[in-house]
Amino acid sequence: MTNSSIIIAPSILSADLSKLQEEVDSIEQFADWLQIDVMDGQFVPNLSFGAPVIKNLKTKLLLDIHLMVEDPQERIEEFLKAGAKHITFHAETVKGTDARKSLIKAIRDGGATAGIAINPDTPLDEVEDVLGEVDLLLVMSVNPGFGGQNFITEVLEKVRTAREKFPDLMIQMDGGVDSETASKCIKAGANNLVSGSFIFKASDREAAITSLRS
Ligand code: DX5
């Protein structure tokens, strides 16, 4: 996998939310996707933002919605209307192959690509029923809820296995991704990296994003 094919998705969770449009403008020419961490205070302890915030964001970056919510099937409509081009739901919130497949279909029918996420403690075989149909697997490298946490190295094994079994699947990683851990993610087979605090706390955001690709 050449590093130029690595997608970088800054996560706005760690941006200065008092000037969100400015923050997005500051990384727009260097990044590929923009990840929006939607948290409901139920599935994860934190409460973040909803569709109204996204609707007002102006960007050419692909809007990637990471639904850390108990009821993702109730949420997708509002985010599709707000311009989402990719939506990821958590396997821990949608049980059963049929339910997962119908949610994947609903997201795609709305014109977006669909992803399924697994937390660090969730084994890969828990989602193998849909990995053949989903557009993206998100392997969390932190327990979701907050930015700025430490990378959980053990999850790399799941990335290696997923890459081996599904050579064409887009594999995203999210949580503690910085210039150190990014190369480990890419080596394991990830080709889409979410990074929040590393990028938004950097004095040179272009250099920070470039360092994730190499
Ligand atoms: C966790 C969030 C974070 C965020 C990235 O729930 O999903 O992983 O996107 O945060 P950093 O890159 O600061 O770990």
Pairing between β-strand 113-118 and β-strand 170-174 as defined by DSSP bridges: unpaired
Domain-by-domain residue ranges, the chain? 7-213
**Contact yes or no for 83/77 (Cβ under 8 A):** no
Tell me if residue 168 is catalytic.
no
Residue pLDDT tens, the chain, 214 long: 455 699 999 999 999 999 999 999 999 999 999 999 999 999 999 999 999 999 999 999 999 999 999 999 999 999 999 999 999 999 999 999 999 999 999 999 999 999 999 999 999 999 999 999 999 999 999 999 999 999 999 999 999 999 999 999 999 999 999 999 999 999 999 999 999 999 999 999 999 999 999 7
Tell me if residue 135 is catalytic.
no
Instruction: Report the alpha-carbon distance of residue 144 to residue 174 in Å, rounded.
Output: 9
In short, whether 195's Cβ falls inside 6 Å of ligand 1 is: yes
Query: What pLDDT score does 4 carry?
Result: 63
Scanning the chain, the segments in alpha helix (DSSP H) are 20-27, 51-55, 72-81, 97-109, 156-165, 179-188, 197-200, 205-213
In short, whether 14's Cβ falls inside 6 Å of ligand 1 is: yes
What atom in ligand 1 is closest to the CA of residue 44? Answer: 6
For ligand 1, the distance from its centroid to the CA atom of residue 108, given in whole angstroms, is: 25
In short, whether 46's Cβ falls inside 6 Å of ligand 1 is: no
CA angle 137, 143, 144 (to 5 degrees): 75
Q: Whose CA is nearest to atom 4 of ligand 1?
A: 147
How far is residue 103 CA from its own chain's centroid?
A: 17
Q: Whose CA is nearest to atom 10 of ligand 1?
A: 147
Query: What pLDDT score does 82 carry?
Result: 97
Q: Whose CA is nearest to atom 3 of ligand 1?
A: 147
For ligand 1, the distance from its centroid to the CA atom of residue 140, given in whole angstroms, is: 9
Phi and psi angles of residue 75, each rounded to the nearest 5 degrees, phi first? -100, -20
In short, whether 144's Cβ falls inside 6 Å of ligand 1 is: yes
For ligand 1, the distance from its centroid to the CA atom of residue 30, given in whole angstroms, is: 19
Residues 6+ apart with CB under 8 A from 74: none
Residues 6+ apart with CB under 8 A from 19: none
- Structure token digits, residue 129: 């029923």
The residue assigned the tokens 């008092």 is 18
In short, whether 148's Cβ falls inside 6 Å of ligand 1 is: yes
For ligand 1, the distance from its centroid to the CA atom of residue 74, given in whole angstroms, is: 23
What atom in ligand 1 is closest to the CA of residue 174? Answer: 8
- Domain 7-213: what homologous superfamily? Aldolase class I (3.20.20.70)
